[in-house]
């Protein structure tokens, strides 16, 4: 199959590493093109606040791509030394890579078990790669299958029941800080998908005001319209932070937009010790972590929210085993179907070639014995040759199918092509 999933997630790499490996749209397109051209690989890049993963497929006749090579590639893309990347990367091969993607799309590998946003992110990652012609035969089957598996898991189990998510965890945090919200001001900076979902939860608390700011004024206007908020010019961000009680930030900027120095000089003195809760859901982070003082100002990143949400996962975990069974059955079906597609041409060519050899031997023999055999004799001879052929082919075909079930039939397919001089 020659399929690999290589990357890091919240379990293998801290946010400080993940933010340095994050892909924006421009980097994603360049990286996909490079993976196609340099490695002759189909590719999809999945980048979320909790993971950076590259899914790769190559022809079975070439060497698979492994962690060291991908670490070098990521180093080129992001300017991070390979030695800083390798310890945080994991690799899944062939059926294990398919299993990993199915689990990811189904929310089984998320910090918040069963969260539904990841399926949309998987869909977006695949569609972006497909639109860029970075995908091919295998990934064009694998990713739609993963999305179908995700739907099965969500509809056939209770893994997605309840309101446990990173977004709802944010609401749990503010409720620990504030008793009432009708006098509070929420400031929204940027507006990524997760940010909008979190804003929806915060808006349900009916704060006194929601202020929206964005470098792009049109986007700020669109978000403000959705939540009934007021647009604040980007140049007035500091003033908005002074007024804020709750901040939600998801800009996707390559470096912090609010440094510790800026906050301490322009914002903190004017707040007079009023409590402030900052939800920095961007990766890379928008707020310098040093702004958090453990007293008046609390800064939470996505990892903090994930840990909070995990405390309420008991009910969903009850459905994990049934969800895993669905994933496992779908992996078996996917591998079997893919190998059937891959093995079919070779088995067809092999059968046709042996048919040709049999006929090249049998026809002259029957011509030579013409007039000396009855019709029944001819039928018996032809049947004996066919039986010999079937028994001869049974071993190679059975071995090929067994290797397919174990996920490593590519080498045997190539061996059969060479042994029987089949055209590739």
Annotated binding site for substrate: 48-51, 110, 115-117, 121
HEC assignment per residue over 335-399: HHHHHHHHHHHHHHHHHHHHHHHHHHHHHHHHHHCCCCCCHHHHHHHHHHHHHHHHHHHHHHHHH
Residues of each annotated binding site: 48-51, 110, 115-117, 121, 190-195
Point out the annotated binding site for NADP(+). 190-195
Reading the block at residue 172, the tokens are 């749990």
Q: Write the Ramachandran bin of 360: left for phi over 0, alpha for psi from -120 to 50, otherwise beta.
A: alpha
Residues in a beta bridge with 5: 55, 92
End-to-end CA distance of the chain: give it in Å, rounded.
16
What are φ and ψ of residue 53, in 5° steps?
Answer: -135, 145
Q: How far apart are CA 348 and CA 341, in angstroms?
A: 11
**Pick the catalytic residue: 46, 49, 210, 291?**
49
Q: CA angle 65-331-10, nearest 5°? A: 60
CA distance 202 to 280: 14
Q: Which of 176, 197, 178 is nearest to 188 (CA)?
A: 197
- Residue 227 known to be catalytic: no
Enzyme catalytic residues: 49
């Amino acid at each position: 199959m020659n399929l690999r999933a290589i990357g890091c997630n919240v379990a293998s790499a801290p946010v400080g590493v993940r933010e340095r490996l994050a892909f924006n749209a421009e980097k994603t397109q360049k990286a996909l093109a490079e993976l196609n051209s340099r490695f002759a690989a189909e590719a999809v890049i999945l980048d979320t606040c909790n993971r950076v993963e590259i899914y790769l497929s190559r022809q079975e006749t070439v060497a698979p791509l492994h962690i060291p090579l991908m670490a070098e590639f990521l180093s080129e893309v992001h300017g991070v030394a390979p030695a800083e990347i390798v310890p945080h990367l994991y690799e899944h091969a062939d059926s294990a890579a398919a299993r990993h993607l199915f689990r990811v799309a189904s929310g089984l590998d998320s910090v918040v078990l069963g969260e539904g946003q990841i399926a949309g992110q998987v869909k977006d990652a695949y569609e972006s790669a497909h639109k860029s012609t970075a995908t091919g035969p295998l990934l064009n089957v694998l990713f739609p299958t993963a999305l179908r598996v995700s739907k099965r898991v969500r509809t056939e189990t209770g893994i997605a029941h309840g309101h446990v998510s990173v977004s709802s965890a944010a609401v749990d945090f503010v409720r620990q800080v504030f008793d009432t919200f009708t006098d509070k001001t929420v400031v929204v900076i940027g507006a990524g998908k997760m940010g909008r979902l979190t804003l929806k939860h915060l808006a349900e608390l009916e704060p006194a005001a929601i202020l929206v700011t964005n470098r792009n004024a049109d986007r700020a206007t669109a978000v403000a319209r959705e939540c009934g908020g007021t647009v604040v010019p980007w140049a007035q961000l500091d003033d908005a932070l002074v007024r804020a009680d709750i901040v939600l930030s998801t800009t996707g900027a390559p470096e912090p937009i609010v440094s510790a120095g800026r906050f301490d000089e322009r914002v903190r003195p004017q707040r007079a010790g009023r409590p402030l809760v900052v939800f920095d859901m961007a990766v890379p982070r928008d707020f310098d972590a040093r702004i958090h003082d453990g007293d008046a100002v609390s800064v939470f990143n996505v990892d903090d929210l994930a840990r909070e949400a995990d405390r309420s996962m008991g009910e969903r975990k009850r459905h994990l085993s049934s969800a895993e069974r669905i994933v496992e059955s779908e992996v078996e079906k996917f591998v079997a179907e893919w190998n059937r597609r891959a093995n079919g041409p070779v088995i067809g060519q092999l059968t046709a070639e042996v048919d040709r050899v049999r006929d090249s031997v049998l026809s002259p023999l029957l011509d030579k014995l013409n007039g000396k055999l009855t019709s029944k004799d001819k039928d018996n001879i032809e049947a004996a040759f066919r039986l010999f052929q079937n028994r001869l082919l049974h071993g190679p075909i059975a071995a090929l199918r067994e290797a397919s079930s174990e996920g490593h039939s590519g080498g045997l397919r190539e061996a059969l092509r060479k042994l029987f001089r089949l055209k590739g």
